[in-house]
Structure 1
Amino acid sequence: MIPAPSLAPAASGTTAVHASGLVKTYGTGSAQVRALDQVDIAFAKGRFTAIMGPSGSGKSTLMHCLAGLDVPTAGSVFLDGTNLGGLSDNQLTRVRRDQVGFVFQSFNLLPTLTAADNIRLPLRLAGRRPDREWWDHVIDILGLSDRLDHRPSELSGGQQQRVAVARALISRPSVIFADEPTGALDTVTGASLLAALRASVRDLGQTVVMVTHDPSAASYADEVVLLADGRVRGVLADPTPDTVLDALRGLGA
């Protein structure tokens, strides 16, 4: 069995997000489902981590709780040192807006806006202007400089996903959460997206947490957190498609 990760302390300056004693249940009585069962997990800053497990293992539920999109039944989530459980709805909205970036299966780009305006959207909603140096760096890393005036319908699937990654990066969030980001993409486009996420970690120091079912996608990460039955079963370092497959077989996936 691959050893489970230890929980980093909340005061640690190297931890982007961590959970302690996390429980999430749905339903009541005999119909109750325990999606998360006493999860202790920490994600280091400047790392790319994939979350994997069999269907129903709790991986999406874990990500939603970590990102403040869902409220745990018990336990705590700290995002960059902030206890999400102690926030009002307005405070939590600001945290999600300012400290969290999202990349989903669907691009969620506004069709009437150019690529540049789609990327700027989180900053506009926050009443902020983009930092010119950061803007140029993100656009250069993602290879979008010659596509900024194009609308989504004028971009390829891979270009649209890179715009979505740029939008997630532009506010310099504490963490980018990616939920099955390659699930609707062909192999080439998916590889382009994963390379963009990898570059954001390597070249921009970003922290990325990605839920995926694809061993090839997981191999882009620095490590893979393995879940089964709502519990962390281990962590796989320096993953390859083959080692990820072997680990998933060990979980009964």
Structure 2
Amino acid sequence: MTTFTPLPHPTGNGLPAKADASGPRTAVEAFALTKGYGRGDTRVMALNEVSVGFEAGKFTAIMGPSGSGKSTLMHCLAGLDTADSGRIVLGGTELTRLNDRQLTALRRERIGFVFQAFNLVPTLTAEQNITLPLALAGTTADAGWLDTVVSTLGLKDRLKHRPHELSGGQQQRVAVARALLTRPDVVFGDEPTGNLDSKAGGEVLALLRRSSQEMGQTIIMVTHDPVAASYADRVVLMSDGGLVGEIQKPTAESVLTALGKLGA
């Protein structure tokens, strides 16, 4: 059953209530996160005391009108941008206390990324693109896990192909495989189906959902597409730099209705 739950404004110190120790494990959590751009009268608050947690092994979509802060939130959670104040804890590590070198290492080893642009190296084969992060880190892939990932994503017969020999959907599958190979704490997707047609986009979203359900991978995806969001277990809604609601077990219709109320 689809449920929409409005979220209250933060109170007190802006921290979420502590989770029950016997409850689900949180993969990444933000506490009273604030981020602004500009100065004086032109200053815009992209994030305003945002506190939110993302359950491990679940697929969550972040949605909201343009300028709502959804991309800023994802970039801060992933260590790609820094907040003005607040805390971010990923897998027990507080990102907001790390220096640039430590953040770079954490992103490489414990975070996966899938972007709208596939970001594949054109001169490398699909297999080389998949294993590139490990090669840059001076390590090698676990053969069994690599086989599991490429088999799950339907890439076994495409590993020797270069990006120009693959369809858009296949290239994004390679990007997903690359993100999954290091068994990261979280895979972040920034409009991952934005450059794909509806059929290829649906295939990639189904694969992301499978990676969550069958591999226990935590997925956090920013999208503007209600259909894409319907593949998630949960939708977090943002407006004007704050959280305004969430939808459990979303459908395209329930997401569209909620976005309509936000003026998206």
Give the TM-score normalised by structure 1. Answer: 0.97
Gaps of 5+ in 1: none
1:8, 1:15 within 8 Å by CA — same for their partners in 2? no
Deviations 1:98-151 (A, max 9, x none): 010000001000000000000000111111111112111101110100000000
- Aligned partner of 2:16 in structure 1 is 7
Please report how far the alpha carbon of residue 175 of structure 1 lies from its aligned counterpart in structure 2 after TM superposition. Answer: 0.3
Please report how far the alpha carbon of residue 197 of structure 1 lies from its aligned counterpart in structure 2 after TM superposition. Answer: 0.6
Aligned residue runs from structure 1 range 17-32, under 5 A: 17-32=28-43
Deviations 1:35-73 (A, max 9, x none): 000000000000000000001000000000000000001
List structure 1 segments (4+ residues) > 2 angstroms apart after TM superposition.
1-13
Distance, in Å, in 1 between the alignment partners of 2:233 and 2:118 is 24
Q: Structure 1 vs Structure 2: percent identity of aligned residues?
A: 60
Distance, in Å, in 2 between the alignment partners of 1:132 and 1:123 is 12
2:73 to 49, 56, 62: 62
Aligned residue runs from structure 1 range 123-134, under 5 A: 123-134=134-145
Tell me the C-alpha RMSD between the 2 structures.
1.6
Deviations 1:168-200 (A, max 9, x none): 000111000000111111111111110111111
- Aligned partner of 1:218 in structure 2 is 229
Deviations 1:70-106 (A, max 9, x none): 0001101111111111111110100000010000001
- Aligned partner of 1:77 in structure 2 is 88
From the superposition, tell whether residues 222 and 32 of structure 1 become closer, same or farther in structure 2 (CA, over 3 Å).
same
Please report how far the alpha carbon of residue 9 of structure 1 lies from its aligned counterpart in structure 2 after TM superposition. Answer: 4.3
1:162, 1:193 within 8 Å by CA — same for their partners in 2? yes
What is the identity, as a one-letter code, of the residue corresponding to 2:252? P
Between 215-224 and 10-19, the greater mean CA deviation after superposition: 10-19
Q: How many equivalent pairs are there?
A: 253
What is the identity, as a one-letter code, of the residue corresponding to 1:66? L
Give the TM-score normalised by structure 2. Answer: 0.93
Q: Is 1:115 the equivalent of 2:126?
A: yes
Gaps of 5+ in 2: 9-14
What is the identity, as a one-letter code, of the residue corresponding to 2:59? F
Distance, in Å, in 2 between the alignment partners of 1:185 and 1:110 is 19
